[in-house]
Amino acid sequence: LELSKNGYKVTAIDAYAPPSPWSAANDLNKIIRTEYSDMIYTKLSVEAMDLWRNDATFKPAFNECGRVLVTPESHLARKDFEAKGIANLKKIEGQGTKIEYIKGGEGLAKKFPVFSSNKVHSDAELKWNPESGLGISFKALELAYQACVSLGVNFSFGASGEATKIITDDNKDYVITADGSRYTADKIVVSMGASTGKLIDLKQQQSATGLFLTHMQLNEEEFQKYKDMPIIFDSEMGFFFPPDPESKILKIALPGTGAHHMIKSNFRGEMTSLPRYMTEFPSDTIPVDGPEKVRNLIEKYIPELVSHQLINHKTCWIGDTSDSHYIIDKVPYLSYTYIASGDSGHVFKLLPNIGKYIVARLDNNLDQNLQQVWKWRTDLEAFDPAKTDWRVPSEDLDFADIEWVKKPEL
């Protein structure tokens, strides 16, 4: 989208039409927040928030429903991350002024009567930021796609869009696709999310992490009751969103569980974590202990929904780097190829503005500090989930060992 707005003639290829079932963003919703412990992302997310509110393409997929953070005193790393996030936000003029601190379950019920029978501890400190919300993520992908089509971007999907290899021949880079087609261009950008390491030799720079989601279907009466609730982000137990207005489905993210899937990479036979998608492995649902964890979460906040059947379990893949910075740079061993990857599970919120920075890198005029932070860095230590403490504390599972919930879960 951003390339074509900047006068580039663009061909985009993908294994699937948007919203691709392989995309981490092909989901009901994602959190759009501006509290970040690193000022770089605070500024980027404040810029993105303005576009979610006002840009004609993205506005229809934004709901500024607000978010309540619930973090136990004992989770020091997470508390520190949140405190820094709020402090950073308040350094930007006009930002963070509406954040409120709420005391315990009673305070929560007073502020949001839909949580009147919550079981939050009376001493818990909750943070409420009304200036955050959710992006209806599958819809945002469709809207961005439609905007690209109207700007004249050429698309190829299916076997002629699924990249299998990238080669250099006669001083040009070529992307080869599953049907044997060859694509070349003056500049090629590979942004295959968690799968980027299938095409590009990233060494240990990026590692695919599978995260788990589930859902419940609300009826009309329940939808009316819960549609205006905020996102509840309980850093110990998981998080959930207000129900989707079209399907009336409520999405729940499983607490603290990620998984790696180690396979031999296409490069030097090195072992690396790469996605295995539900399109090929439909029985990859959620780990067998997931439903109980989800029920504990729902019981804590909205006990009347606790016995709803959990549906549409999902594994979804992100590309983690060890310092959670993205990788937006030229690939040193290729002639004309760049990557925009290493999302580390936090780039959906920047969908309206990240393209501007990718284009700046291609045009060689990216801010020096950003260029340094997002550079190709194969000297990075390998990703270690135990050190990614800004996320919910992570139980790191191995795909080889996971026992899956059979679907549908009854």
Q: Which residue's C-beta sits nearest to ligand FAD?
A: 193
| In contact, 328 and 310? CB cutoff 8 Å | no
Contact region for ligand FAD (CB under 6 A) — 1-9, 92-100, 298-306, 346-354? 346-354
Report which of 196, 190, 215 is spatially closest to residue 358, judged by C-alpha positions: 190
Q: Verify binding: residue 345, ligand FAD, rule CB under 6 A.
A: yes
* Residue pointed to by tokens 């819809």: 139
Tokens coding 259: 């998984």
> Closest distance between ligand FAD and the C-beta of residue 387, in Å?
19
Per CB under 6 A, contacts with ligand FAD among 139-168 are 161-163
Q: Shortest distance, CB of residue 208 to ligand FAD, whole angstroms?
A: 10
Whole-angstrom distance, CA of residue 327 vs CA of residue 344: 10
Stretch 308-327 residues interacting with ligand FAD (CB under 6 A): 316, 318
Q: Which of 1, 3, 22, 353 binds ligand FAD (CB under 6 A)?
A: 22
Strand, helix or coil at 356?
A: helix
Among 1, 126, 211, 294, binds ligand FAD (CB under 6 A): 211
Angle, in degrees to the nearest 10, between helices 76-90 and 39-54? 60
H helix runs in 69-159, sequence order: 76-90, 104-111, 137-150
Nearer to ligand FAD (CB atom), residue 105 or residue 345: 345
Distances in Å between the Cα of 223 and the Cα atoms of 76, 174, 206, 227, 296 are 35, 50, 39, 5, 21
The arrangement of strands across the sheet holding 62-63 comes to 30-32, 133-135, 62-63
In the complex, minimum distance from the CB of residue 105 to ligand FAD, in angstroms, rounded to a whole number: 24
Pull the structure tokens for residue 195.
């799968």
CB proximity list for 100: less than 8 A, separation 6 or greater: 111, 127, 128
The two tokens of residue 345 are 């599970």
Instruction: Give least dist CB 142 to ligand FAD, A.
Output: 12
Got the DSSP string for 75-90? -HHHHHHHHHHHHHHH
328 binds ligand FAD (CB under 6 A): no
Tokens of residue 187, six digits: 């500049």
Of the candidate spans 71-79, 114-122, 194-202, 241-249, the one that interacts with ligand FAD by CB under 6 A turns out to be 194-202
> Cβ of residue 295: shortest distance to ligand FAD, in angstroms?
19
User: Which is nearer to ligand FAD, 15 or 305 (by Cβ)?
Assistant: 15
Residue from 255, 343, 399, 405 in contact with ligand FAD (CB under 6 A) = 343
**CB within 8 Å of 277: residues ≥ 6 apart:** 21, 22, 317
Q: Report the residue number, 164 or 225, with the smaller CB distance to ligand FAD.
A: 164
Residues 251-270 that bind ligand FAD (CB under 6 A): 253
Q: Which of 127, 346, 361, 391 is in the footprint of ligand FAD by CB under 6 A?
A: 346
Phi, psi for residue 50 in degrees, rounded to 5:
-60, -40
User: Least distance to ligand FAD from the beta carbon of 24, Å?
Assistant: 3
49 lies in the binding site for ligand FAD (CB under 6 A): no
Confirm or reject binding of residue 300 to ligand FAD (CB under 6 A). no
- Percent helix, percent strand, percent coil in the chain, to nearest 5: 30, 25, 45
Q: Is 23 in the site for ligand FAD (CB under 6 A)?
A: yes
Q: 130 preceded by cis ω (within 30°)?
A: no
Piece of the chain touching ligand FAD by CB under 6 A; list 147-155, 190-198, 290-298, 356-364: 190-198
The answer to whether residue 391 forms part of the interface with ligand FAD (CB under 6 A) is no
Q: How many residues bind ligand FAD (CB under 6 A)?
A: 32
Residue 28 touching ligand FAD (CB under 6 A): no
- Nearer residue to ligand FAD within complex by CB, 162 or 222: 162
Q: Looking at the chain, how many residues does it have?
A: 410
Q: Name which of 107 and 140 has its Cβ closer to ligand FAD.
A: 140
Judged by beta carbon, residue 120 or residue 252, the one nearer ligand FAD is 252
Structure tokens at 87: 């402090």
Q: Which of 10, 12, 20, 329 binds ligand FAD (CB under 6 A)?
A: 20
Tell me which DSSP letter residue 406 carries: P
Binding site for ligand FAD (CB under 6 A): 13-16, 20, 22-25, 30-31, 161-163, 191-195, 198, 211, 213, 253, 316, 318, 341, 343, 345-349
